[in-house]
Structure 1
Amino acid sequence: MKSRKVKYIIFMIDDRHMDKHYDIEQQLCWTFLVDTICSRYWDAINRRQKKKNHDYPVAVGLWANKFDLWKDKYEYEDIQNHPIFESFKDGMQKLNDKGIPCYKYIVSAKSDSEMVYRGIATMIEDY
């Protein structure tokens, strides 16, 4: 992230953590990503190379993929309250507290590839 000057980050998830409660790979990766973004230092362990304001991303997208496979499994009224995002709520709150907005999006890249482009365009327009 440091040398590439990343502005937007998209973190893709699916419903594995809902099917198998012992599968926490996505949550661990999300926690690592959030801690890396929110750290004031590039080297968080040794506290070296302090980040500047322009080093933080503009926005982070949390995208739930494979919607065509799990759309009928879970009940929800609004995307903001979908149960697939519940495990990632603490990380989103931590990013929001740091001033980095999180964008939730449900996508089915296989059945409708245009959803990916619409999601990226919407995220860039909003932030």
Structure 2
Amino acid sequence: MTNERAGTGGIPLPVPPGVGWHATGSGVYPHAARVEGRWWILRLNDFPEHPLHTLFVDGRHVADVDDVPSDWQRLEKASAPVLTEPERAEILDLMVGLGPYGAEYGTPCTDDWCSCEVLTDAWIREQAG
């Protein structure tokens, strides 16, 4: 598992409490939040082979997250409305090339036991509707 990075170890991430997470309509990037004009995007990884989520801010890797911090609102029931079509397109544009775990490090996962290799930009856009 050469792509694995340490999780947050319970250290709170810099997402302000009470931020409204939007459902994105994407199974790869299921939640996004607008924080101070920047998109905070969670990628759902192939767990347990990789950390549960990876957090990106405007398409830049911030942290791998095994346990969602307790001060984040429940993500399963995103607290803000579903993204509009233009917002979803903006999210997908920011995340081009970042579907597979490890792509943020320049070494996307291609292991046989993982589903990362199917996470192409075209597949992600098609799946997101």
TM-score relative to the length of structure 2: 0.32
Asked which structure has the greater CA Rg, the reply is: 1
Higher helix share: 1
TM-score relative to the length of structure 1: 0.32
